[in-house]
Amino acid sequence: MREFLIEVPHGREECSAARAGLVGAPDARAYWGCEAGMHTTWIIAELADKHEARRLVPRLLRDTARVVPVEEPGRLTTTGGEK
């Protein structure tokens, strides 16, 4: 299991679909920017893989969603030229 950030941009007319679609991950945290005029949903959830993360997004919005594996700052590893 690892943590994923799922970003779901949507239009004003899709807000209710974005809110209703979050199912299947009871421990997921979701944030909406709609009240500020930024029609985007951000979901943080611990899941098995990217495919499971994408399934949290309503079908209507899956094509525009981005799924990114994330880590807490204290758990970062260095790779390549990073220090």
Three-state secondary structure string covering the chain: CEEEEEEEECCHHHHHHHHHCCCCCCCCEEEECHHHCCCEEEEEEEECCHHHHHHCCCHHHHHHCEEEEECCHHHCCCCCCCC
Q: Each residue of 67-81: b (16+ CB within 10 Å) or e?
A: beeeeeeeeeeeeee
pLDDT at 75: 64
The string of pLDDT tens digits covering residues 40-78 is 999 999 999 999 999 989 899 999 999 999 988 876 566
pLDDT tier at 21, thresholds 50, 70, 90: low
